[in-house]
Structure 1
Amino acid sequence: MIIGIDLGTTNSAVALWRDGKAELIPNSLGHLLTPSAVSLDETTGEVLVGLAARERQSTHPALTATAFKRYMGSNRVTRLGKKGFSPEELSALVLRRLVDDAQVFLGQPVTEAVITVPAYFNDKQRKATRRAGELAGLKVERLLNEPTAAALAYGIHELDDQSMFLVFDLGGGTFDVSVLEIFEGVIEVRASTGDNRLGGEDFNQVLIEDFGKAIGDRISTEDRADPVLRERIRAAAERARRGLTDSAEVIMSVTWKDQVFEHRFTADRFDTLCSGLVTRMRDPVLRALRDSGLHAGQLKEIVMVGGATRMPLVRRAVTKMFGRFPSNAVDPDQAVALGAAVQAGLKARDVALKEVVLTDVCPYTLGVEVSERGPGNMIRGGVFSPIIERNTVIPASRVQVYSTMEANQKFVKLPIYQGESRAVSDNIRLGEVEIAVPPAKAGEIAVEVRFSYDINGLLEVDVHVPATGERRELVIADEETMTAPEFSRRRAELAELKHHPRDADLNRAALARAARCYEDSLGDQRQFIGQHMDRFSFILERQDPREIEHARKELLQVLDQFEGATWL
């Protein structure tokens, strides 16, 4: 039995695919959502998970943890009493609770799961999520991006026509935007971007700060530092924000030391306070459209996901961005879990599901640190050189060629990074490869660096020095949570990708035909064919499969006009 799990910042949910549909599994309280909260009862030593834990947050703040998903992949330690927990360990406790509830509901063991992650999670965050699943006793069948899961819940995998969708996913702690294309049984992610530090919690913080200004010095500085008071204010802000979903006005009220402190919020006031957060939402939307090469008018639907999208100001902002109302066909709190269940059904090859192929993209750029020679022969290091660009469809394999910087250089070091900044210091370091090179003049020795990246985050780095035949290889993967056979299988799949697009049969045949036509022609016609050959060769070097396919079709159409269609 494979289940689907939405491991959320605020709430989590579990679902399965059976009897031809996705179905949410209720927890022991009969609720479909389980708060992502963990609390420690110091008296009994018992760990509480879910609603019981969340209810203790304002009374036992030092013993309760929430929103730990925001710190996945970091070294942050959350102390609950005398015990310290990593974000993976806290997440594993939530996952274990979901699995226990599923086993009681289904009456059978559950050992495998599809777990969703924000599309903009980096390599470390994804590996941390996989480790959390392993700690919970699960075989993690797949990490599925939350917007892709939402698209499956929406049912776009059942559509027959070619369409473009944008998934706008604003949860409790993270924000994702993904552009997806559906065609011929394939769901292809065209672009994913987002902000891992933007969510409902940030809108709560706006209310908390305004409440603090309103009450002024009526509460002492010492009392403001009290964790119990901070949690009461946080809970009151959450209630106020939710109240503004249906009301034009709410009163945020907190009781402290037998005094009641109140502050009135109107919807207009809340909109004004949150204008900066709304601006932060626009930037990922624009980047996703730019990276996918689309404009808003080409999108068939805007799909809203995540509990924070219930806020009227968010829906108004999205309507204004796209000039039309977003879809509300799927419950934003349940869509991701239901989509994970669809993917679980696909993994189990359920006959009720139409066969669908899911492609994904690399959410961050992968590359190496290089040095550059500037004015005055000055060498500047710490420069990031991209090899696999963000939003490249994966699995993918790309190669770049570098050369030595100094005369008689003995070795080349290639630190590997993930990120978007020009300076490697602002990106995430993943590892390093060092390789020996023969002594020669500066720039004479070439070093080929190939990155191969799969859909589950396995990155294989191959470094080759053609002058000596020397090779070095580094595999960056979460091997702790991967069996040896699975590791070998995934590396074998990547090995099949390791050829340059110019060596593919279709591309070689197109270039050979173009070369023949060039030799057969004269004058302007020859120049015209030569220009198209050069353009196609240039695009081949960029190694983008979609762009290459389009350019090859264009080249063949030009050749068909010259000599008629190819005959066999």
Structure 2
Amino acid sequence: MVLSLVKEHDSSNFLKAARLWGIENPETTICNPRALLGRKWSDESVQILIKDLPYKVISDHQDRPVFNINVGDNEKTYTVEYVTSLLVKELKHMAEVAMGGNETVTEAVIAIPSNYNDQQRQAVKDAGYLAGIDDLLISLEPGAAAMGYGAHEVDEERNIIIFDIGNTLDVSVLNAENGVFETLASSHYDIGGEHFNQRIIDYITRQWRKMTSIDLTTSPSDMRKLNLEVERAKISLSSNRTAIVDLGSVNSTLTATLTRAKFEELVKDLFVEAVEVIQPNLNKAELNFTDIDDIIITGGSGNIPKIREMVQEAFSGKMPSYGLRSKAAVIGAARRGAISYSDEGLLCGLSFPDLSPLDFGIETADGVTANVAPQKPIPFLASWNFTTAVDRQSSMLIRVLEGQRVLAANNLVIGEFELPLTPAPAGVPRVEIAFRIGPDQDLEVTATDLETKNTKSIFVDPSTTMWTDYGAPEGTKFEGAFLGNWPDTYIDPDPELRARVNARVDLESYLAALKERLTSSEEWGTEDIVRYNKLGHPFQLSKVLQGIDMAQEDIAKHRDTWEPDTFQKLKEDFSILAELFVGKLEYEVIYRVGGKVGVQHDEL
């Protein structure tokens, strides 16, 4: 195993001495570069990550984070991919030495977190290429862990849950039978080792400040050593009841004793949060706790006794597997490589389809994400039908999103294009939008006008992570409405918001359909309405339409504040009103006045 540390000194990069170098020279030692792979510098999460780093991370001209390091009197800039490639190159060298030093490694399998999007996956491939890997296969860490534990060797059908907790948490539910794996659910959470470490660091720095009035956080070198000492102590507590945190020999002489009980107290809420996410993943897989045959705990933080105990309790005492621990994904990735690269067909007959990176969808007119293609095994094809939200639209702008958030603004925009339309009233055009993901994770999005059969497409090339722009104006959004029910079978990070959106969209669709029926119904003509109004009933069409208009104004005003029950109650009220009005109209006009079935009525 290799630490994610790279040092820069006198134009030479070294890995072996990076840990010790980082204590005295934290401003030139880069830690965990993969956390920034494929990310945007302006992202809020990136700003949080880089806020307290002892070295500078700046933005390049494409809003990508780059490391800005001072080496002597010179200032050097390195991309995240380049720094990551140094780690890959070291692993490549270690493998070549292990094989006798006579062979060059040009093929590799890299296991990545399941939440990596297309840009992050491509950044991993770029790092591999810079390290001299010509043929790189990407495998997802949870799936690789399942193979590492030998789940592919079992003939009978089994449901497996992977609880992969390192610096972050991946929870995956798999179905395995005769060497064929199917991913039923997979989600990523920002809970893990770094968060546990930070709780310990905060505790120690507070205690030290109380005892000595010295603020350790003002010294980058002290904080770097404290980080390393806390990590060492945390690992020690997995097998010991106490651990010593020693910050001597730098600028302070701090020595603190940390007990396992105190550590568990500091991170109790994080442990609870980590275990609680099992339930929504089982819901997504449509399984119960009792349906799980194998529980696999992996990742570095999977060694923590309390985590293993809490996961076991969640499954009513069922014993998890954790013998291989953090190496499971490594072993599984190697087995995955044997499937793909072996000329002799080693492990032939195995099938492990990867999962799409995240959910894919479309931004609707009100800034909500319509989730067209939830995360699932690839390749696949998924489609939904949409219509227009504005009268006489001459085109539909389609904004393609990646992510699982309700609001489009919280997801990643991966493409935009326009589909020309024949101008018509809102709600009349029918547009099918289809997402097709191939075996190489290439994404094609196609929009088809179902009336004219006119079609436009966008292609996201995984080798460039760029998309073809068909002239969509910058800053504009999709002017369309989803035709159908919002999906609720996948894990939702915004359940309350989605419930509100579902209720609002349902009400808006109902009112639009009711208004359309009352103003252009084929059940009665204009003369019928005129005759009905002359009868002087309180339920006049103009008043009903005025009520719909007022309701639509109220919805627009309170779209983000009303509770779901408020939207549902308003729909119920209008349903009763519509039933009374239409019933009275049919009785007075069609039966009594219009005489359309009057002969039959008179004979009775």
**Interval of TM-score (by shorter of Structure 1 and Structure 2):** 0.7 to 0.9
Deviations 1:101-154 (A, max 9, x none): 222332212212111101122232222212221222223442111111111111
Equivalent position SS for 2:325? coil
Q: Tell whether 2:408 aligns with 1:408.
A: no
Structure 1 residues 342, 410: closer, same or farther in 2, change over 3 A?
same
The residue number in structure 2 matching 1:356 is: 350
Q: 2:279 aligns with which of 283, 286, 292?
A: 286
Structure 1 residues 122, 324: closer, same or farther in 2, change over 3 A?
farther
Equivalences for residues 338-417 of structure 1 within 5 A? 338-349=331-342, 350-371=344-365, 381-390=366-375, 392-417=376-401
The residue number in structure 1 matching 2:151 is: 156
Structure with greater strand percent: 1
Is this contact kept in 2: 1:92–1:135, CA < 8 A?
yes
The residue number in structure 1 matching 2:591 is: none
The residue number in structure 1 matching 2:3 is: 35
Unaligned runs of 5+ in 2: 40-63, 467-604
Q: 1:76 aligns with which of 50, 65, 86?
A: 65
Alpha-carbon distance in structure 2 between the residues aligned to 1:364 and 1:191: 11
Is this contact kept in 2: 1:194–1:284, CA < 8 A?
no
Is this contact kept in 1: 2:163–2:296, CA < 8 A?
yes
Structure 1 residues 416, 283: closer, same or farther in 2, change over 3 A?
farther
Q: 2:463 aligns with which of 468, 479, 483?
A: 479
Alpha-carbon distance in structure 2 between the residues aligned to 1:153 and 1:223: 41
Is this contact kept in 2: 1:102–1:110, CA < 8 A?
yes
Alpha-carbon distance in structure 1 between the residues aligned to 2:393 and 2:91: 56
Is this contact kept in 2: 1:403–1:443, CA < 8 A?
yes
Q: Tell whether 2:47 aligns with 1:47.
A: no
Is this contact kept in 2: 1:409–1:440, CA < 8 A?
yes
Query: Deviation of residue 209 (structure 1)?
Result: 0.5
Equivalences for residues 413-424 of structure 1 within 5 A? 413-424=397-408
Structure 1 residues 282, 222: closer, same or farther in 2, change over 3 A?
closer
Query: Deviation of residue 274 (structure 1)?
Result: 0.6
> How many pairs are equivalent?
435
Q: Which amino acid aligns with 1:241?
A: K
Equivalences for residues 117-156 of structure 1 within 5 A? 117-156=112-151
Is this contact kept in 2: 1:63–1:79, CA < 8 A?
no
Q: Which amino acid aligns with 2:361?
A: G
Q: 2:94 aligns with which of 101, 123, 127?
A: 101
Is this contact kept in 2: 1:78–1:87, CA < 8 A?
yes
Runs of 4+ in 1 over 3 A off after TM superposition: 217-223, 256-259, 325-330, 349-352
Equivalent position SS for 2:253? strand
Alpha-carbon distance in structure 1 between the residues aligned to 2:307 and 2:443: 37
Q: Which amino acid aligns with 2:68?
A: R
Deviations 1:393-434 (A, max 9, x none): 321101111112222211111111111221111111111121
Query: Deviation of residue 198 (structure 1)?
Result: 2.4
TM-score, with normalisation over the residues of structure 2?
Answer: 0.69
Alpha-carbon distance in structure 2 between the residues aligned to 1:132 and 1:96: 9
Query: Deviation of residue 80 (structure 1)?
Result: 2.9
Q: Tell whether 2:104 aligns with 1:115.
A: no
Q: Tell whether 2:435 aligns with 1:446.
A: no
Deviations 1:181-230 (A, max 9, x none): 111331111111121x3221211111100001111255667753221011
Q: 1:302 aligns with which of 278, 295, 299?
A: 295
Equivalent position SS for 1:160? coil
Equivalent position SS for 2:277? helix
Moved more, 263-272 or 227-236: 263-272
Alpha-carbon distance in structure 1 between the residues aligned to 2:310 and 2:439: 33
Is this contact kept in 1: 2:222–2:250, CA < 8 A?
no
Alpha-carbon distance in structure 2 between the residues aligned to 1:174 and 1:258: 32
Query: Deviation of residue 354 (structure 1)?
Result: 4.2
The residue number in structure 2 matching 1:85 is: 78
Q: Tell whether 2:396 aligns with 1:425.
A: no
Q: 2:324 aligns with which of 305, 327, 331?
A: 331
Deviations 1:236-269 (A, max 9, x none): 2112111211211223221266642233222111
Equivalent position SS for 1:393? coil
Alpha-carbon distance in structure 2 between the residues aligned to 1:267 and 1:437: 65
Alpha-carbon distance in structure 1 between the residues aligned to 2:405 and 2:194: 27
Alpha-carbon distance in structure 1 between the residues aligned to 2:284 and 2:20: 43
Alpha-carbon distance in structure 1 between the residues aligned to 2:455 and 2:131: 39
Structure 1 residues 221, 440: closer, same or farther in 2, change over 3 A?
farther
Equivalent position SS for 1:337? helix
Alpha-carbon distance in structure 2 between the residues aligned to 1:433 and 1:321: 47
Equivalent position SS for 1:58? helix
Equivalences for residues 234-313 of structure 1 within 5 A? 234-255=227-248, 259-313=252-306
Query: Deviation of residue 291 (structure 1)?
Result: 0.7
Unaligned runs of 5+ in 1: 1-32, 372-380, 483-568
Q: Tell whether 2:174 aligns with 1:180.
A: yes
Moved more, 324-333 or 338-347: 324-333
Is this contact kept in 2: 1:193–1:363, CA < 8 A?
no
TM-score, with normalisation over the residues of structure 1?
Answer: 0.73
Alpha-carbon distance in structure 2 between the residues aligned to 1:282 and 1:329: 16
Q: Tell whether 2:160 aligns with 1:165.
A: yes
Structure 1 residues 122, 264: closer, same or farther in 2, change over 3 A?
same
- Seq. identity, %: 27
The residue number in structure 2 matching 1:207 is: 200
The residue number in structure 1 matching 2:27 is: 62
The residue number in structure 2 matching 1:3 is: none
Deviations 1:430-454 (A, max 9, x none): 1112121111222222211100123
Q: Whose Rg is larger?
A: 2
Structure 1 residues 56, 326: closer, same or farther in 2, change over 3 A?
farther
Structure 1 residues 329, 247: closer, same or farther in 2, change over 3 A?
closer
Is this contact kept in 2: 1:158–1:354, CA < 8 A?
no
Deviations 1:3-39 (A, max 9, x none): xxxxxxxxxxxxxxxxxxxxxxxxxxxxxx1212111
Equivalent position SS for 2:368? strand
Q: Which amino acid aligns with 2:196?
A: F
The residue number in structure 2 matching 1:559 is: none
Q: Which amino acid aligns with 2:408?
A: V
Query: Deviation of residue 324 (structure 1)?
Result: 2.7
Equivalent position SS for 2:384? strand
The residue number in structure 1 matching 2:558 is: none
